[in-house]
Amino acid sequence: MATHTAEPAAGGEAAVEHLTLEDRVWLLRAMLMMRGLEERAMTLYRQGKVPGSFYDGYGQEAVSAGAAFAMGPQDRLCILHRDLAAHLIRGVSPARILAQYMGRAAGITRGRDGNVHFGDRHLGCVGMVSMLPDMMLVATGMAMAFKLRGEARCAMTWFGDGSTSRGDFHEAMNWAGVQKLPVIFVLENNQYAYSTPVDKQYAVDPVERAAAYGFVGVTVDGNDAEAMFEAVHAARERALNGDGPTLIEAVTMRMHGHAAHDDMKYVPKEQVEEWRKRDPIERQENRLRVLGVDIDSLRASIKAEIDAAAEEALAGPMPDPSSAVEGVFCEGEAEPLGDGQAPWSGFGAA
Amino acid sequence: MSSSPTDVLVDVTMPQMGVSVAEGTVVAWRVEVGDSIEADATIAEISTDKIDTEVPSPASGVVTEILVPVESTVSVGTVMARIAATGASQPQSLDGEPAGQTRTETPIPSLPRAGNGHRRYSPVVQRIAAEHGVDLEQVSGTGRGGRVRKQDVLAFMESAPVEEPPLHIESPYRPDPVAPVVDGGLSRMRRQIGQHMKRSLEVTATCTTWIEVDMSRVEAARTRVGVTGLSFVARACIDALREHPALNAWLDGETYTRLSDVNLGIAVSLGDDGLIVPVVQRAHELSVEGLAARIRDVARRARARELTPDDVQGGTFTITNPGQYGSIMATPIINLPQVAILDFEAVIKRAVVVTDADGNDSIAIRPMTILGLSWDHRALDGALAAQFLATVKRLLESVS
Amino acid sequence: MPTLTYLQAISSALRDELRADPRVLLMGEDIGVFGGAFKVTDGFVDEFGTDRVMDTPLAESGIIGTAIGAAVVGMRPVCEMQFSDFISCGFDQLVNVAGKMHYRQGLAVPITVRLPSGGGFSGGPFHSQNPEAWFMHSPGIKVVAPSTASDAKGLLHAAIHDPNPVCYMEHKHLYRRVKGEVPSGVFETPFTARVAQPGSDLVVIAYGAMVSVAMEAVSDGLDGASVEVLDLRSLVPLDEEAILDSVERCSKVVIIDEANSTCAAGAQVAALIAEKGFESLDGPVVRVATPDVPIPFSPPLEAAVLPGVERVREACRELLAY
């Protein structure tokens, strides 16, 4: 149960460890799309088209992109609010994401919940709640079902440094450990829970708590998408082998405020500057540029996709007010979560 | 620099930077009136309780107005500037386009009228009394403090001496018991009714024709079926309107329209407050029992002030039935823009001459009523009015 | 038809479900090897194994949360809170994750939460509660409360088959005191009210353990009056039609709540009657409820607060005379 830090891949090879070149470009695509969509949504927010609050994962894109990329189609995810790339990798369309932010009828929740509180059930994702980390228990429960039924699948969830202080973190860790469940807990340590820095949050680095609950904890560079992938891939193998859960602490930095209305004055400028140098997208671009990938063309195609998505989302109607009281109960059969996309070459995807 | 007529004016509004933020202050404008700007380019800088930030332009075009000066604080949503948007980029407002229907509002429940006088009656006691014409002052109460309980009303009805009432006591024209009004002046409703009546007399050429009807078969049928005589009269009118469609029409100035549906208005008294004519829509589709139920329903809702606009529109013919007090004839006023109205007064036992199959005359006691039809001579003649009444008489006297 | 106790009826339902549906999973503290604090699952492990009759860690939030996870990947978990009182430790998962999931995400959460409720045996403040009102108030959660052995089985089958989260309020006081004929095999009782005893002068509306209190209170006819007893059985959905029908016929209403009075289920029923049944009323809507106090431990104190036969009888007498 020793912790170790995953090493970033040595530069210069097209395929590394478990990733082909296409895979590595996919990771960059997902991160660029996440950042681009969030920037577009932020503009829409400032133009008054996104109601409520707006949250993004600027600077943390690798944590969700790398981790989600290692998940198979039958695996199940509980995705959090700074993990938009995970939704993209599973197959949610950018237009629906923007519609979701704007509270339109075409959004994944059809206006019933806002910003990143969504999960496309047809793609195997459970929509988060605001009480964090409630979803850790849901992921644990999904893993429990997989184990009871003897299925080769796992569940994964993300949560932040702040939520490790709540009871549900401990109940989930304990339950997963005592029942040795195929679940992956990704702790996004982005140094701050709103304005609370980690040294006010816990007395020990939470990755060490994995040992207390009887399983492996690893620390990973959260700004390296490929390192994230490798760590989650290894955790998934562990889970499928029946060796139980893994806690992965992804070390990263929240580069924007807690939400769009927070200017993060409480974060020392030097800290922000230090982390800017480690931007995950820049890092991945540098790796791929060396391998001859046309970054500019990639960026351009993503921008075009986002423009088209914004146009589509803006053209869509708001939900019908009379539908506000519908759908509280399921009236028909309960449908379990469906399978998501899994573009990693290791899953045999085209 | 004028904006072309094809441009759309787009508002630049103060955004809401956070759920609890209610206002913002303009720190700087990056444009002046007349400047061009691209969509998403920064148009202004603002400051709020939570954060200072830039506002991106919602559209490409030319700035036509700047409404909020620097250092002014305005509420979220306030229009700060306007842009004449050029070309195809017509951005949507936050509300976009609603998918369809307007919001359905929850109807406000209306309250039934409370009993008046020194005794208080519970809702169910009043309802039973109203439905059966019981005078609650006559009922002794066995409840707390002598209050009248439901059981007391029911017991009173069972043991009440049979007083011979006029034959038709269930008329929607019958008003609720109300305390006498002692102050003067006409209520608004009274004045409106007055205006409507006066206008009718001014505009129409009103005549009235009467006919006597032997109601014995109706009396027998109504006790058997358990409905009011009015329901039979209503059904007969509907059938007669089919035979004489000229009376189921609207005349508005010179515009005369015959209608295929019979939407039957029934005059309901609201006591001193006046009267109202709710409409049984598509009455031609209803049987005698159906008419009875609908008349009862609209009368109840009229007295409870629960009518909707649909309930009082679209009437093609009206019946007024004030028979409770024993009056036998009247000259009703036509309910514009209809062309006729039927008055159904009391049914009184009379001695009449009846002729048997062999042609022999004798005197019999029959329940008789006089139906009066006021009709508009601009739309029809007396002969047609008489024919209509004859048809109604024939139908009522042949009820099985 | 066999005669079973209320508790045996619950066991029967669980056993039949485990046999009929491989997706069904029981989860709770001490329910497996020990057979349950009240022995509802006594012997189950021998037939179904420890995987399907799971002894969980002591973690109510964990039980409900993991049940939700299992449910959305195709299982039918039936969780038990050892005492309904402990649902407060799992409140967040039940109300915020389970209750709201379908509305927000279109994702059904077919879990059943068994909640052994109620007092009358010196359980004290933490083992005697009737918390159903908290969940009537939370959108997306159904709530049922059987009072007879047959309904205990039928409502539990229906709850497990329902694709939504259902709180099943089983009353501890009734476990061994109520017996009745119970059909064998899997059958469903609908989420509607039941006229336990028809009448015309007054209706007593109750659910759970209070139905027997009502029946006993009116059993001697109350000076010749004809008193109806309406067993609500289902709190969400609430059977408005049945309630208003009883009110229309009887015109006088006494509502009993064993739960604390303020905002109890009976308060909702009273509001419904005042709004929609006003014209049928021949007297005020009377409530007999436990006052707003934690349920005390010492027997005379507990008896003073829980609605008993005499209190109900007195309320009926007064209202009949009104």
State whether residue C22 sits within 8 Å of chain A by CB: no
Same domain, B325 and B373: yes
- Whether residue C322 and residue B124 make contact (CB cut-off 8 A), yes or no, is no
Domain that holds residue B293: 188-397
Answer for the pair A89, A69: CB distance below 8 angstroms, yes or no.
Answer: yes
Q: C280 contacts in B (CB within 8 Å)?
A: 123-124
- Tell me: cis bond preceding A133? Omega within 30 of 0 counts: yes
Handedness of CA B163, B166, B169, B173 (dihedral sign): negative
CA distance A326 to chain B (A): 13
DSSP 8-class letter at A322: G
| Region at B156 (left for phi over 0; alpha for psi -120 to 50; beta for the rest) | alpha
CB contact at 8 A, A77 and A68: yes
Q: Which residues contact C159 (CB under 8 A, 6 or more apart)?
A: C112, C142, C144, C166, C168
- Structural domain includes residue B181: no
pLDDT in tens, A162-180: 999 999 999 999 999 999 9
Q: How many helices (H) and strands (E) would you count in chain C? A: 12, 14
Output the pLDDT for position A8.
46
Q: What domains are there in chain C, each with its CATH number?
A: 3-181 (3.40.50.970), 194-321 (3.40.50.920)
Q: Residue B117 domain-assigned?
A: no
Q: Which of B39, B61, B85 is the last residue before a domain boundary?
A: B85
The answer to whether residue A245 scores a pLDDT higher than 60 is yes
Is the residue at B213 inside a domain? yes
Contact (Cβ atoms closer than 8 angstroms) between residue B392 and residue B371: yes
pLDDT at position C228 is 97
Other CB atoms within a 10 A radius of the CB of residue B117 amount to 10
Mean pLDDT of A296-312: 97
* Cα separation, B292 vs B278, whole angstroms: 14
CB < 8 Å to C321, chain B: 143-144
Same-domain status, B265 and B228: yes
SS3 sequence, A3-26?
CCECCCCCCCCCCECCECHHHHHH
CB atoms within 10 A of CB B166: 15
Average pLDDT, chain C: 96
Question: Is the pLDDT at C119 greater than 80, yes or no?
Answer: yes
**pLDDT at B83 (0 to 100):** 92
- Is the domain of B149 the same as that of B237? no
Q: What b-and-e string marks burial along C10-38, b requiring 16 or more CB atoms within 10 Å of the CB?
A: bbbbbebbbeeeebbbbbbbbbbeebbbb
Q: CB B205: neighbour CB atoms within 10 A?
A: 11
Q: How many Cβ atoms from other residues are within 10 Å of residue A345's Cβ?
A: 15
- C220 touches C234 (CB < 8 A): no
**In this structure, what are the phi and psi dihedrals at residue A284, rounded to the nearest 5 degrees?**
-65, -40
pLDDT tens string C241-299 = 999 999 999 999 999 999 999 999 999 999 999 999 998 999 999 999 999 999 998 88
Mean pLDDT of chain A: 93
Nearest CA in chain B to C247: B124
Q: How many CA atoms lie within 13 A of B211 on its CB side?
A: 20
Q: Return the pLDDT at B190.
A: 83
- For the record, the structure tokens of A299 come out as 């960026």
pLDDT of amino acid B89:
45
pLDDT tens per residue, chain B (400 residues)? 444 556 788 999 998 877 667 788 999 999 999 999 998 899 999 988 767 888 999 989 999 999 999 999 998 889 999 999 876 444 444 444 444 434 444 443 333 334 444 678 999 999 999 888 888 888 989 988 888 999 999 999 888 665 554 555 456 665 655 566 566 677 777 888 888 899 999 999 999 999 999 999 999 998 888 888 999 999 999 999 999 999 999 999 889 999 999 999 999 888 777 888 999 999 999 999 999 999 999 988 888 888 887 888 899 999 999 877 889 999 999 999 999 999 999 999 999 999 999 999 999 999 999 999 999 999 999 999 999 999 999 999 999 8
Asked if the model's pLDDT at residue A214 lies above 50, the reply is yes
- CATH number of the domain residue B128 falls in: 4.10.320.10
Annotated domain spans of chain A: 21-317
Cα gap B9→A345, rounded to integer Å: 51
pLDDT at B182 (0 to 100): 60
Q: Write the CATH number for B238.
A: 3.30.559.10
Domain annotation covers residue B38: yes
B381 is catalytic: yes
B211/B133 same-domain check: no
In a domain, B106, yes or no: no
Distance CA A192, CA C23 (A): 41
State which H helix or E strand residue B219 sits in.
helix B216-225
The number of distinct structural domains making up chain B is: 3
The model's pLDDT over A69-115, given as tens digits with 9 standing for 90+, comes to 999 999 999 999 999 999 999 999 999 999 999 999 999 999 999 88
Cis peptide before C237 (omega within 30 of 0): yes
B260 and B390 co-located in one domain: yes
Q: Does the domain made of A21-317 have the CATH classification 3.40.50.970? A: yes
pLDDT at B178: 58
Contact between B210 and B304 (Cβ < 8 Å): no
ipTM of the complex: 0.90
Burial of B254 (0-12, 13-18, 19+ CB in 10 A): exposed
Chain A segment 53-112 residues within 8 A of C by beta carbon are 76, 108-109, 112
Same domain, B78 and B137: no
Q: What is the pLDDT of residue B90?
A: 46
Mark whether B361 and B244 lie in a shared domain. Answer: yes
- Percentage of chain A surpassing pLDDT 90? 88
Identify whether the C-beta of residue C200 lies closer than 8 Å to the C-beta of residue C226.
yes
Greatest CA separation for chain A: 58
Among candidate residues C127, C157, C171, C173, the one labeled active-site is C127
Give the residue from B37, B59, B85 where a domain finishes: B85
Side-chain half-sphere exposure of B340, counting CA atoms within 13 A: 33
Pick C280's closest partner by Cβ from B111, B124, B149. B124
Tell me: do B289 and B332 sit in the same domain.
Answer: yes
The chain A residue lying nearest B78, using CA atoms, is A48
B246 and B323 belong to one structural domain? yes
Biggest CA pair distance of chain C: 60
Give the residue carrying structure tokens 């959660």: C141
Can you give the pTM of this predicted structure? 0.71
Q: Do B370 and B303 belong together in one domain?
A: yes
CB contact under 8 A, A138 and C66: yes
Q: Which of C178, C170, C167, C105 shows the shortest CA–CA distance to C138?
A: C167
| A251-274: pLDDT as tens digits | 999 999 888 888 888 899 999 999
pLDDT of residue B110: 38
Element (H, E) at B118: none
